[in-house]
Amino acid sequence: MWKIGWVPIGLVFLLMAMIIAPIEAKRKGPRQDCALFPKHFSDVLRAGEGSYIELGEMDVSDDFEIEMTVLPTGSDHDGNLFAIGSKRKFPYYEWRTKANSTQYLVVEIVYSSVMLTLKALGTYNLHSIELYRTHPNPYDIGDGQWHTIRAWRSPGFWHLDMDGINTKEELKIGPDHSNDGQSDSTNIQLQQMPAFLGGRPGYIDLQFRGIIKDLRVNRQLIPLRDKLIGNNSGVVVTRCGSRAYRNFTNLMEEERNAESQFDWDDDSDWNEYGSYNVHQESETSFFDHEDPSANQNPSGGIGGVY
């Protein structure tokens, strides 16, 4: 047996590995996963199905908080970021008799403004809390920067915050008009109901396009990598900084640059869906954006875990 002095060489290598591995792991840091939502709105309309991650069953009660960090595309980014409701598929509007028995909470981007939409039990009224993008603190959600969005409930209030720009509105309990649906309540109470990230089943009016990371519900980090198992709706969960991540962010930057040069007076740039043709590549193309010969999803689909 080979030895260094009186120590077997195999034991030397083992000791070296035990010393080096923790140092290397500390240098790299913990794995941080990013959820990529590459589908264009036009792709969703054609397919009849949006992209989302099913997070499992969650509660919304007197103490609720949702937080995430998002990198939206320059355009085509309006849509649901987080949604939970008393039904797996819930429309924003339905017959009053049905609407009274439906409740939900949605964090979304609407016309480039961050919004918290609430629909309580016993009412057919929707209530929206909005961070207006033009006033009193103007912002650009598609500026190519990461933005942290947080919505939560405290005693007596609903709050909405993005990068320190915040608003709050008083929690409304009633009065109870459950028979006529006229209640102004925003008292959302959901137990073990399905929650979704980046979209929701049956909703194709708007599709968020961009990247989401650091999702926390009630201050607990949600492992997105685990949630995508068996869900192949066009979402990709990958390590932040991976090749797929870099390809998508490069594509987003190219689109943003193209938008800045867009000729708003040229009708030829508008497509049949009412959005402009800044970039014609589909959602599958970002995988090989850097290297045309690179393989796409090893499973053959456009979604997956990497």
178: in domain: yes
* 163-188: average pLDDT: 78
Q: What is the chain's percent helix, strand, coil content, to nearest 5? A: 20, 35, 50
How many structural domains comprise the chain? 1
The tens digit of pLDDT for each residue in 32-76 reads 899 999 988 888 888 888 899 999 999 999 999 999 999 999 988
Contact 158, 151 (CB under 8 A): yes
Of the pLDDT bands very low, low, confident and very high (cuts 50, 70, 90), residue 20 is low
* 262-268: average pLDDT: 49
* 240-267: average pLDDT: 81
* 80-93: average pLDDT: 92
CATH code of the domain containing 148 = 2.60.120.200
pLDDT computed for residue 286 by the predictor: 44
Q: Which residues contact 263 (CB under 8 A, 6 or more apart)?
A: 269
pLDDT computed for residue 24 by the predictor: 44
HSE-CB of 80 using CA atoms within 13 angstroms: 28
* 224-247: average pLDDT: 84
pLDDT computed for residue 202 by the predictor: 87
Contact 73, 147 (CB under 8 A): no
Q: Is the pLDDT of residue 303 over 80?
A: no
Between 127-136, 180-189, 197-206, 232-241, the lowest mean confidence (pLDDT) is in 180-189
CA distance 66 to 222: 11
Please name the residue ranges forming H helices in the chain: 9-28, 41-47, 96-99, 224-227, 243-260
Place of tokens 């509660």: 59
57: in domain: yes
The tens digit of pLDDT for each residue in 275-284 reads 333 333 333 3
72: in domain: yes
pLDDT computed for residue 268 by the predictor: 46
CA distance 199 to 61: 22
pLDDT computed for residue 15 by the predictor: 57
The token pair that represents 87 in the structure block = 């039904």
Contact 4, 11 (CB under 8 A): no
Q: How are beta strands 147-154 and 157-162 bridged, if at all? A: antiparallel
Q: Is the pLDDT of residue 115 over 90?
A: yes
3: in domain: no
Residue with the larger pLDDT of the pair 95 and 269:
95
Residue with the larger pLDDT of the pair 151 and 181:
151
Domain that holds residue 128: 33-261+272-305
Q: Is the pLDDT of residue 92 over 60?
A: yes
Of the pLDDT bands very low, low, confident and very high (cuts 50, 70, 90), residue 142 is very high
26: in domain: no
* 75-90: average pLDDT: 92
Residue 255, helix vs strand vs coil? helix
25: in domain: no
pLDDT computed for residue 242 by the predictor: 94
* 5-34: average pLDDT: 58
